[in-house]
């Protein structure tokens, strides 16, 4: 059976990829296809699927700043959307009950409200994978969508805990001591190195310290993984840890999507109900847009975040599964919910892929907020009179900035992806703002580069400099561009792609070292 599952998953994922769809759509369809031929899910697949979701939430936590959740647009936005969507979906389902539609007619008001609640969630797994594939996890709309999803996950965990009547053990209060142990966690992360021990550290903290500890005290295991990830998010190796777990997490998530298809046996009644549920998707998307737009985000940010959340959620299935076990929901409704979740992924995938194109077509008739009223997180960027943009304010970018100030005065604007580093530069008197130069959203927010004569691509990764170069060229930048590289082949690629000058950081550092030594020591060399 395992060989059949692997073959079907690979074939379906490959076909979806060639159709410009995310592979997860193929995995879902493979699950339904296998189900039709009599295959069902088993304990191994369920276990691997659960591991995938746990590692996913852990890696989300690694990238999540707790301050993000505390911002009103996240906690208030998620709460308002959840309440409004549950109320509207309940009203729509009550109408179907009055019309005598299938299994819904036999449900009471409490059960219908529960179904509306289950349909109000959006998929964390789908949204994160979609954002990762587009490279827009750090975009303003991406962080906004992820923050809302994390709040929804917290709502779901609270509901699951309350509905089962299983309250945490009294000693769960000891979990409040976890933040006090952060220095110990940091020291351990410092000591594990960069190879297989780093991967094992991540698995241990996600599954044992996080999920295991929370489950031990009677709380949801996934919530533990998320919180442990958030505790480690401030460490300098958090990003490296997340990348080291990426392929393992992706492999387990294949089982998650297969399991959805394998667990639901489609029936005509279930399919008909699923199609009715899908009519609620536009309402959900519109509510997201209206709520986010009310917090004064740009139309682009509100629209792209709404599209990322334009689906039903695997957490809705978990809520539905619990309701089915407790006799609150019929089997037809659960099958319909599983089909609606799956089909919403199939619908959402191409819509998200064309998100920027949809924005370009719709921004003419969607009213934008005045620039001075925009949310602080989405403010437009005005380079002012800066003649030089330095993308990446690490050691090389900082050195270039200081040298330009020494020779020409304050003509530069530095762009640094880390907010704390940008603040540190500003405290030292440098003109530096926070921004991700590899993010298309960042370039959309820049008002005018007419005064900019030179851009220095000084980011530490070649791919980052390549992406920034593409963004500049897409916006018809007319000034000169210079870039750093580690290797000769990278320099050749940058020059071929249009930079005016490329510099090898090692040879330039060596030349600078020799020149500085000779200037300071002035050795009395004799020419041969």
Helix axis angle, 140-163 relative to 72-98, nearest 10°? 60
Is the model more confident about 523 or about 415?
415
In this predicted structure, what is the pLDDT of residue 523? 74
CA distance 301 to 441: 8
CA angle 200, 224, 311 (to 5 degrees): 100
CA distance 151 to 138: 18
SS3 305: helix
| Banded model confidence at residue 462, pLDDT cuts 50, 70, 90 | confident
In this predicted structure, what is the pLDDT of residue 526? 66
List of residues 6+ apart from 201 with CB closer than 8 A: 188, 189, 192, 241
CB 60 within 8 A of CB 223: no
In this predicted structure, what is the pLDDT of residue 24? 74
CB 129 within 8 A of CB 311: no
In this predicted structure, what is the pLDDT of residue 91? 94
What radius of gyration do the chain's Cα atoms show? 26
In this predicted structure, what is the pLDDT of residue 163? 66
Provide the whole-model pTM.
Answer: 0.70
Residues in the chain: 528
Phi, psi angles (nearest 5°) of residue 460: -70, -15
| Banded model confidence at residue 447, pLDDT cuts 50, 70, 90 | low
| Banded model confidence at residue 176, pLDDT cuts 50, 70, 90 | confident
Q: Which residues of 176-206 are buried (b: 16+ CB within 10 A; e: fewer)?
A: eebeeeeeebbeebeebeeeeebbebbbebb
Instruction: Kindly list the distances between the CA atom of residue 209 and the CA atoms of 46, 181, 184, 249, in Å, as whole numbers in the listed order.
Output: 21, 12, 13, 18
Sheet with 480-485: list strands edge to edge.
Answer: 432-434, 412-416, 388-391, 454-457, 480-485, 501-504
Q: What is the mean pLDDT of the chain?
A: 84
CB 274 within 8 A of CB 336: yes
Lowest pLDDT segment from 8-12, 136-140, 395-399: 136-140
CA distance 399 to 464: 19
Q: What is the pLDDT of residues 102-142, one digit of tens each?
A: 788 888 888 899 899 989 999 887 888 788 777 677 677 88
| Banded model confidence at residue 305, pLDDT cuts 50, 70, 90 | very high
List of residues 6+ apart from 100 with CB closer than 8 A: none
| Banded model confidence at residue 79, pLDDT cuts 50, 70, 90 | very high
The pairs formed by 237-240 with CB atoms below 8 angstroms and a separation of 24 or more are 237/189, 237/190, 237/198, 238/62, 238/63, 239/62, 239/63, 240/194, 240/198
Express as a percent the part of the chain with pLDDT over 90. Answer: 21
CB 501 within 8 A of CB 490: no
Q: What DSSP line would sit under 346-379, residue for residue?
A: HHHHHHHHTHHHHHHHHTTTSPPPPGGGS-GGG-
Q: Report CA 380 to chain centroid distance, whole Å.
A: 22
Average pLDDT over residues 377-392: 84
Task: Please say if the pLDDT value at position 527 is more than 70.
Answer: no
CA angle 361, 363, 364 (to 5 degrees): 85
Is the model more confident about 479 or about 266?
479
């Amino acid at each position: 059976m395992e060989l059949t599952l692997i073959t079907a998953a690979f074939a379906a994922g490959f076909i979806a990829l060639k159709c410009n769809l995310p592979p997860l759509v193929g995995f879902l369809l493979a699950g339904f296809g296998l189900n039709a031929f009599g295959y069902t899910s088993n304990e191994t697949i369920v276990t691997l699927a659960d591991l995938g979701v746990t590692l996913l939430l852990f890696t989300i936590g690694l990238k999540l700043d707790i301050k993000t959740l505390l911002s009103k647009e996240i906690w208030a936005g998620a709460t308002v959307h959840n309440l409004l969507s549950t109320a509207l979906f309940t009203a729509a389902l009550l109408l179907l009950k009055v019309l005598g539609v299938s299994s819904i007619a036999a449900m009471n008001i409490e059960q219908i409200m529960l179904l509306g609640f289950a349909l109000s969630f959006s998929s964390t797994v789908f949204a994160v994978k979609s954002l990762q594939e587009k490279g827009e996890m750090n975009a303003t709309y991406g962080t906004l969508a992820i923050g809302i999803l994390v709040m929804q996950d917290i709502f779901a965990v609270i509901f699951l805990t309350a509905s089962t009547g299983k309250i945490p053990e009294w000693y769960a209060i000891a979990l409040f001591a976890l933040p006090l142990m952060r220095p110990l966690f940091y020291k351990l992360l410092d000591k594990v190195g960069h190879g297989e021990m780093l991967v094992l550290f991540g698995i241990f903290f996600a599954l044992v310290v996080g999920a295991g500890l929370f489950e031990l005290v009677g709380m949801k295991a996934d919530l533990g993984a998320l919180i442990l990830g958030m505790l480690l998010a401030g460490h300098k190796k958090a990003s490296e840890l997340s990348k080291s777990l990426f392929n393992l997490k992706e492999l387990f998530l294949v089982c998650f999507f297969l399991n959805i298809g394998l667990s639901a046996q489609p029936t005509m009644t279930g399919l008909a109900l699923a199609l009715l549920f899908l009519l609620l998707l536009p309402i959900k998307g519109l509510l997201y847009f209206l709520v986010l737009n009310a917090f004064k985000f740009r139309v682009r940010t509100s629209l792209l975040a709404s599209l990322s959340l334009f689906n039903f959620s695997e957490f809705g299935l978990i809520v539905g599964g619990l309701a089915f076990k407790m006799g609150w929901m019929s089997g037809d409704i659960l099958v319909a919910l599983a089909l609606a979740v799956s089909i919403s992924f199939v619908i959402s995938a191409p819509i998200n892929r064309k998100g920027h194109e949809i924005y370009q077509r719709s921004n003419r008739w969607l009213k934008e907020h005045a620039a001075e009223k925009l949310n602080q997180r989405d403010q437009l960027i005005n380079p002012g009179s800066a003649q030089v943009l330095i993308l990446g304010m690490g050691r090389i970018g900082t050195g270039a900035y200081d040298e330009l100030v020494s020779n020409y005065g304050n003509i530069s604007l530095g762009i640094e992806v880390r907010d704390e580093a940008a603040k540190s530069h500003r405290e030292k008197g440098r003109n530096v703002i926070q921004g991700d130069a590899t993010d298309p959203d960042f370039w959309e927010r820049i008002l005018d580069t007419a005064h900019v004569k030179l851009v220095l691509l000084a980011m530490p990764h070649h791919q980052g400099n390549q992406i920034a170069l593409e963004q500049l060229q897409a916006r018809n930048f007319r000034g000169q561009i210079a870039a750093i590289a580690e290797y000769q082949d990278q320099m050749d690629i940058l020059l071929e792609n249009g930079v005016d000058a490329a510099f090898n950081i090692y040879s330039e550092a060596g030349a600078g070292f020799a020149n500085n030594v000779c200037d300071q020591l002035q050795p009395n060399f004799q020419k041969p």
